Amino acid sequence: MASYLVTGGAGFIGSHLASELVRRGHRVRVVDSLITGKRRNLAHIPQVEFIEGDLAQAGVAERAVDGMDYVLHQAAIPSVPRSVHDPIASNRANIDASLNVLVAARDARVKRLVYAGSSSAYGDTPTLPKREDMPTNPLSPYALQKLVAEQYCHLFTRLYGLETVTIRYFNVFGPRQDPGSPYSGVISLFSTALLEARPPIIYGDGEQTRDFTYVANVVDGVLRACEAPSASGEVINVATGGRISLNELLRTMNRIVGTDIKATYGPARAGDVRDSQADIRKARAVLGYEPIVDLESGLRETLAWCRSEATTSAPR
Ligand code: UD1
């Protein structure tokens, strides 16, 4: 049994990491500001120790990291458009807080810190699929902030010997992804729209593509990154290696739900990337990673969860 801190553990991806760690018999502590996270995401795992606090305050980061073997740093204010509207708030959450976590992890001599990086770092560079050694080209404050924090991780490994690994996530989706804001991930928004028989909104022509990754794949990749002997100091894509357009995604989701609801089209979003697809050879080589849940199975799980939420929970 080892001890794991999951920062942002009351959020979507963080709560899945916490669940899996508990299932494997580990000790889990979560720190979360509850700005986007929710206590109820952890209701099914009461054995998790919970600290409510803002990691942009150094004392919170120190208290959270104290006594931990591993730090899974997931806390962030996600969303490209949200960062375009409010770059200062997202900078504080995505960079200041990350630096505090790194300093605290260094001082507490944790075994390894695994950081939630983002595919947005690649921006609109022309070559697909994206390989980790390709140049970066952030197109939004969010993308830049995620890239700065990953470079801080790398620097902390070189300068202080703190073991860090950056996993670049590619459009993660699944149960517990909150559909309650216009900044929510597109699959959560499409799911609720279809289940409520409303037309989803597509920004742009819908021909932009993404490597949508079911959350269980990411959990597997991150937990492998804690242990993989040669992963420290590395940046590694974790995704499926495929890509699908939003128009095709909507057709697939309509087919699963048994509907034929057309989208409403709106203007393309500022800072939006056109195409995104991961090269996952490095994850295979360094982590022994292989995607375990494909897009369609993941969509079915997600839609089933959205359906059960609609019938069992209070209005969102
Ligand atoms: C980006 C990152 C992703 C990161 C996420 C955090 C890229 C390629 N991906 O995701 O790694 O985790 O930020 O928020 O940069 N859209 C619609 N209708 C909607 C909502 C979205 O058409 O109602 C479109 C967006 O304009 C975009 C696509 O769907 O083209 C995906 O959007 P979203 O789910 O918000 O994620 P990204 O911004 O791609």
The string of pLDDT tens digits covering residues 247-280 is: 999 999 999 999 999 999 999 999 899 999 999 9
Best residue among 203, 207, 209, 253 to mutate for probing ligand 1's pocket (most ligand atoms within 8 Å of CB) is 203
For residue 135, what are the contacts with CB-CB under 8 A and spacing of at least 6? 125
Tens digits of per-residue pLDDT, 3-43? 999 999 999 999 999 999 999 999 999 999 999 999 999 99
In this structure, CATH architecture of domain 3-173+215-241: 3-Layer(aba) Sandwich (3.40)
Q: Where are the beta strands (DSSP E) in 86-180?
A: 112-118, 164-169, 172-173
Q: Are 112 and 165 in contact (CB under 8 A)?
A: yes
* Given the residues 4, 142, 169, 289, the one annotated as active site: 142
Q: The whole model's pTM is what?
A: 0.97
Q: How far is the CA of 293 from the centre of ligand 1 (A)?
A: 20
The domains of the chain are located at 3-173+215-241
> Which ligand 1 atom lies nearest to the CA of residue 120?
15
Q: Residue whose CA is closest, atom 31 of ligand 1?
A: 186
